Amino acid sequence: MSSPKVILVTGSNTGIGYELVHLLAAKGHTVYLASRKLESGLDAVAKIKKEKNLDVKFVQLDVTDVSSIEAAVASIKKNEGRLDVLVNNAGVAEMHISQNALEPSLPAMRATMETNLFGLVQTTAAFLPLIRASSTSENPAAIVTVSSDMASNTLMASDKGYMYQVVAYNTSKAAANSYTIALAYELRAEGIKVNAVTPGFTTTKINGFTAGGGDTRARRKVYSTLVLA
């Protein structure tokens, strides 16, 4: 395999993020599982250790809290001195609240934007010095935005669009895509890879385990392929 990488996956105590941490750790990388809640994160790390005997590191990280972000950056800087891959996986959907475009819930809009856009932006900005410290022409660092089919304006404007009733989530993810495109443009001269990736509809906690989606274990290879490209 390629040289072991230092990888941080935000919001990874459940769902696709959790499965990605598991897979990357199995490949021999130094992986940080990040969770907003301390207990939830430690439980997830312990579960991976018990079930698969894999050593995963933990860092508490709330992407909506600047102090929490700064503490996470300081911890990884002290322990590793660099960050090879940042996976911006943390997200909320607020699907328990009606998000019809005709009668939008502004609290839902603000909550999803706070995590899915503003949280992503400030987390990325804070970790950028560690990412730059890692990146070389031979081993470029990477930033990955976990996106969604519903973030694609092209898809949603076509006859293949779906789930228009979750406008807060869709809007926040579309905005995150726009930020990711701009970030990729700004960092291309430095050789840092910036991409967005969607696993397609997957049954996870974020959508209330809605039936009909793919299994998280089946989707995680999509992420690992991009993260380690």
Instruction: Please give the positions annotated as active site.
Output: 148, 173
Q: CB-side exposure of 225: number of CA atoms within 13 Å?
A: 8
Closest by Cα among 124, 125, 116, 122 to 144 = 124
Q: Can you tell me the distance from the alpha carbon of 184 to that of 96, in angstroms, rounded to the nearest whole number?
A: 33
Are β-strands 85-88 and 6-9 bridged in parallel, bridged antiparallel, or unpaired? parallel
Q: What's the residue count for the chain?
A: 229
Q: Give the C-alpha separation, 215 to 157, whole Å.
A: 27
2, 158, 178 from 154: Cα distances, Å:
36, 6, 13
Burial of 100 (0-12, 13-18, 19+ CB in 10 A): exposed
6: tokens are: 């230092």
